[in-house]
Amino acid sequence: MNTSTGQPRLLQGNEAVVEGAIYAGCRFFAGYPITPATEISEAMSWRLPAVGGTFIQMEDEIASMGAIIGASLAGAKAMTATSGPGFSLMQENLGFGVITEVPCVVVNVMRAGPSTGTATHVSQGDVQQARWGTHGDHPIIVLSAATTYECFEITVKAFNLAERYRTPVILLTDEVVAHTREKIVLPPPGELEVLERQKPTVPPDWYIPYADTASGVPPMGIFGDGYRCHVTGLIHDVRGFPTERADEIVPFMNRLFRKINQHFADIMMVKEELAEDAEVLVIAYGAVARAAKRAVREARERGVKAGLLQLVTLWPFPRQLLEPHLKWAKAVLVPELNMGQMSREVKRINQGMTRVETLNRIDGSLITPGEIVERLVRM
């Protein structure tokens, strides 16, 4: 695979994820091959050593998630990639990454489920799992890519958000996006913003690893740099030691949520296509957003003032960016490759502002632009 920047390259989505990770500074990958995400592990196995990084094929996805948390604690930008069954195995360690505030990126290339499902077919059935899969109250950032270039661009964004807010970030793609090949031009180094985690500026003896800050994000000491930090999955105090005191538990949990909630403007992303004056809106993400983008253009040609809101940020759910459009639109269509996981959120925030309809497919095939157009015309 040609690895140069600044000239057209023919890449599939999985390969673009790898290039985005390398661009963002990822130097550690641990994973277990699984369809349809295998190409990410395969490409990482030779791309990372070429840039001084480390690739490890783990015995399973439980170990993969644990390995990237450990690598991140040691200072590396780290990533893993999987699909539905492996994503299920990662959930306990994903929660560990949330409570210990360890930046890392988890790519889930969705396929049809539940269980083994249909391993080579597309689905968007992991949307709610990405938000609620690990137990307990917890914040999480989940992004979605719809094109090969977005696989590159949003992977970079995922690393930036993980490093800025000290949290695992999940990137959802799907079998269609992962295996679609498109000609793209990757930007040269320095063109896209690449963020690094904030490190302590105080001497090691003054360092408080989980101290509250104005941003809600404490600086992160790196193992081996002299900064002491006790890391545990138990609720802990500002120094990292387990606590059962209410006056320490409540502020800690509130800070975990506050560091995400007070930065919505940076985290929430929605792309618009002909949405400014749309009377009928399509809200879509991933591979379905590709079909919807063409569909709203064809619907316009047939006299329907249709527009698209493509969700790039799935969680936190970007209600602040959607509500103004819901107040204006006469009807909304939410097409997705599941039984209505994201449409539930749209209906929840709609509160009777407009009519919300769904278009669902669960047979492993993609919803076509024509199917969306026909629904828009009837609406």
The answer to whether position 193 is within a domain reads no
Assess whether 57 and 176 both reside in one domain.
Answer: yes
Assess whether 365 and 241 both reside in one domain.
Answer: no
The label of the residue with tokens 């930046």 reads: 103
The answer to whether position 133 is within a domain reads yes
Task: Output the domain CATH number for residue 83.
Answer: 3.40.50.970
Q: Which two tokens stand for residue 112?
A: 């049809």
Q: What is the pLDDT of residue 7?
A: 87
Assess whether 167 and 261 both reside in one domain.
Answer: no
Q: What is the pLDDT of residue 6?
A: 78
Residue 242 per-residue DSSP state = B
Q: What is the pLDDT of residue 1?
A: 59
Assess whether 104 and 251 both reside in one domain.
Answer: no
The answer to whether position 53 is within a domain reads yes
End-of-domain residue from the set 236, 252, 267:
267
Alpha helices in 78-180 (DSSP H): 84-89, 91-99, 127-132, 148-165, 175-179
Half-sphere exposure of 342 (CA within 13 A, CB side): 35
Assess whether 303 and 241 both reside in one domain.
Answer: no
Kindly tell me the burial class for residue 301, based on how many C-beta atoms sit within 10 Å of its own C-beta (0-12, 13-18, 19 or more).
Answer: exposed
- The DSSP element (H or E) to which 32 belongs, if any, is none
The answer to whether position 234 is within a domain reads yes
- Distances from the Cα of 352 to the Cα of 46, 305, 327, 329, 364, angstroms: 53, 21, 9, 12, 32
Assess whether 258 and 349 both reside in one domain.
Answer: no
Q: Are 337 and 289 in contact (CB under 8 A)?
A: no
Number of Cβ within 10 Å of residue 367's Cβ equals: 22
Q: What is the pLDDT of residue 3?
A: 65
Q: Give me the phi and psi of 20, to 5 degrees please.
A: -65, -40
Assess whether 111 and 135 both reside in one domain.
Answer: yes
Assess whether 98 and 178 both reside in one domain.
Answer: yes
Number of Cβ within 10 Å of residue 20's Cβ equals: 28
**What's the CA gap between 318 and 316, in Å, rounded?**
6
Give the residue numbers spanning the domain of 278.
272-378
Kindly tell me the burial class for residue 203, based on how many C-beta atoms sit within 10 Å of its own C-beta (0-12, 13-18, 19 or more).
Answer: exposed
Q: What is the pLDDT of residue 101?
A: 98
Q: What is the pLDDT of residue 95?
A: 98
Assess whether 182 and 218 both reside in one domain.
Answer: no
End-of-domain residue from the set 212, 237, 267:
267
Residues composing the chain: 379
Q: Are 329 and 274 in contact (CB under 8 A)?
A: no
Kindly tell me the number of DSSP H helices and DSSP E strands found in the chain.
Answer: 14, 15
Q: What is the pLDDT of residue 2?
A: 59
Q: Give me the phi and psi of 260, to 5 degrees please.
A: -95, -50
Assess whether 71 and 219 both reside in one domain.
Answer: no
**Residue 133: CB partners within 8 Å, gap ≥ 6?**
87, 88, 91, 94
**What's the CA gap between 39 and 14, in Å, rounded?**
6
Assess whether 230 and 315 both reside in one domain.
Answer: no
- Domain count of the chain? 3
End-of-domain residue from the set 213, 247, 267:
267
Q: Per-residue pLDDT for the chain (379 aa), expressed as one digit of tens each? A: 556 667 899 999 999 999 999 999 999 999 999 999 999 999 999 999 999 999 999 999 999 999 999 999 999 999 999 999 999 999 999 999 999 999 999 999 999 999 999 999 999 999 999 999 999 999 999 999 999 999 999 999 999 999 999 999 999 999 999 999 999 999 999 999 999 999 999 999 999 999 999 999 999 999 989 999 999 999 999 999 999 999 999 999 999 999 999 999 999 999 999 999 999 999 999 999 999 999 999 999 999 999 999 999 999 999 999 999 999 999 999 999 999 999 999 999 999 999 999 999 999 999 999 999 999 999 9
Q: What is the pLDDT of residue 353?
A: 93
Q: What is the pLDDT of residue 266?
A: 96
